[in-house]
Structure 1
Amino acid sequence: MLAGGSGITPMLRIINYLLTDHHHHQNLQTFKIHLIHFNRCQMDQILISYFESLHNHFPNKFSITHVLSEPLCITDDDNNNHWLYGHITDELCRQCFDQEITDNFESQTICLICGPSGFNDAALK
């Protein structure tokens, strides 16, 4: 999942549906969600504790990477390895995925994209 700014909103419902409403369904036993959430600044990130809670509750199903386009706005007490810096690129996205996803990307991966039109255009390249 690639979410740019407020594009996180529709992703929330999909994540909730998959993890809490239907994670027991037979066809959904092997899925994994990796959300890459792009924002300008750390202060623009929403629901950080909610996403941490999801990761703690579903460690084998859900992970998140936060990407900031302005790295200087991160605070010293948030020295977290889930923060990356830059704009959406193929290289940055591949850096976020584990090897299993990268190896099977073409055949076993669904990529959902939501954000401003410029973000969506860049994500499709």
Structure 2
Amino acid sequence: MPVLNESRRAGDFVLSEANGNLSRDSIVIDTGVHLPGTVLGKVTATGKHVALAPAATDGSQNAAAVLRAHADATVGDVNAVGYTRLAEVRADLLVWPVGISDEDKTEALQVLAGAFILAR
């Protein structure tokens, strides 16, 4: 019997969130293909979200949201939903940039905790 692998599903990393849509905001993804649970930064000049970039200086070096569902912005901006406050997430299911250091992860998690997005 063949082994089937299920892909990541929207919100599969969320342990709890506030009632209704209080934890979520509509966001715009600027570039790239992102899985649910991707930690995002927000470019200050445009207000658009991109994958967290710890070495950047445009605002995207600061964690601002966690992406709820798959987003493909390879051909242009795409609307998406991000957790921006009041949520508990599974730390082991968050998606980080390749090569991110443990120190940068810790800093990003502290910034998210400031918005009451807690990794467990």
Same fold (TM over 0.5): no
Larger strand fraction of residues: 2
- What TM-score do you get using the length of structure 1 for normalisation? 0.29
Greater relative contact order (Cα < 8 A, sep 6+): 1
